[in-house]
Amino acid sequence: KNQVEQSPQSLIILEGKNCTLQCNYTVSPFSNLRWYKQDTGRGPVSLTIMTFSENTKSNGRYTATLDADTKQSSLHITASQLSDSASYICVVSGGGTASKLTFGTGTRLQVTL
Amino acid sequence: GAGVSQSPRYKVAKRGQDVALRCDPISGHVSLFWYQQALGQGPEFLTYFQNEAQLDKSGLPSDRFFAERPEGSVSTLKIQRTQQEDSAVYLCASSGPRGGNTEAFFGQGTRLTVV
């Protein structure tokens, strides 16, 4: 079964600190991996998208890594801000249907003063 | 429009009532997806359209769920005889013509509450 697992389930950090979120997947064959940010009550918004050949991609203070051999990805957030408080969802495309996105359950990040 | 638009934003239905949820994708986007997101969970795939063709409906939980996109633009997700377990946020996403490697843009969702 195609699955995407994320850890930790939730995380609280102080403003200005860095953090790293983890994603492991079993989707095969693999097409691409995306990280989305979902604010409460809103739809997910894409942060990064990486294909098999890419192992690092940055978007401002967000840096995603991908190890396609171990089927792991991480999202590193640098110098966190209060506005980073949201759910971060790892999404993998593939599993025989490139159009189908398999979502992880997300990491709930709370940035506090 | 500039983004994916879903309506209504909130819907309260009595158990057994039929509901219809609307999705207006980004103009020109070929692919359209519906997802169901239960409270505290990640979105779960329901169905996928390429233009007007429904290519994958493997995620629809029962035959009470029906989706259509007759002209390859606006899509409607219909749920017949709603049950309490249907309560969730229903997300619609669209993406451009280059298939799986293009970004999927999501609407804000329709929160359905069945009472």
Mean per-residue pLDDT, B92-107? 76
Q: Quick one: pLDDT at residue B90?
A: 97
Contact (Cβ atoms closer than 8 angstroms) between residue A63 and residue A57 = yes
Q: Which residue ranges of chain A lie beneath pLDDT 50?
A: none
Mean per-residue pLDDT, B81-89? 96
Residues 45-104 of B with CB under 8 A from A: 45, 48, 50, 55-56, 91, 93, 99-101, 103-104
Residues of B in contact with A101 (CB under 8 A): 33, 45, 104
Q: Quick one: pLDDT at residue A95?
A: 61
User: What is the distance between the alpha carbons of residues B4 and A43, in angstroms, rounded to a whole number?
Assistant: 10
Mean per-residue pLDDT, B23-41? 91
Give me B35's structure tokens: 């997802």
Check B42 against A41: CB less than 8 A apart. Answer: no
User: What is the distance between the alpha carbons of residues A45 and A51, in angstroms, rounded to a whole number?
Assistant: 18
pLDDT band at B97 (very low <50, low <70, confident <90, very high): low
Q: Quick one: pLDDT at residue B1?
A: 52
Closest-CA residue to B42 (of B88, B93, B111): B88
Question: Within 13 A of A99's CA, how many CA atoms are on the CB side?
Answer: 24
Residues of A in contact with B106 (CB under 8 A): 36, 43-45
Average model confidence (pLDDT) across chain B: 91
Residue of chain A minimizing CA distance to B46: A100
pLDDT band at B68 (very low <50, low <70, confident <90, very high): very high
pLDDT band at B47 (very low <50, low <70, confident <90, very high): very high
Contact (Cβ atoms closer than 8 angstroms) between residue B106 and residue A44 = yes
Q: Quick one: pLDDT at residue B80?
A: 97
How many CB atoms are located within 10 Å of the residue A53 CB?
Answer: 7
Check B99 against A98: CB less than 8 A apart. Answer: yes
Q: Quick one: pLDDT at residue B39?
A: 87
Contact (Cβ atoms closer than 8 angstroms) between residue B75 and residue B69 = yes
Q: Quick one: pLDDT at residue A28?
A: 81
Please give the interface size between A and B, counted as residue pairs whose CB atoms are below 8 Å apart: 63
**Torsion over CA: B39, B95, A101, B18 (sign):** positive
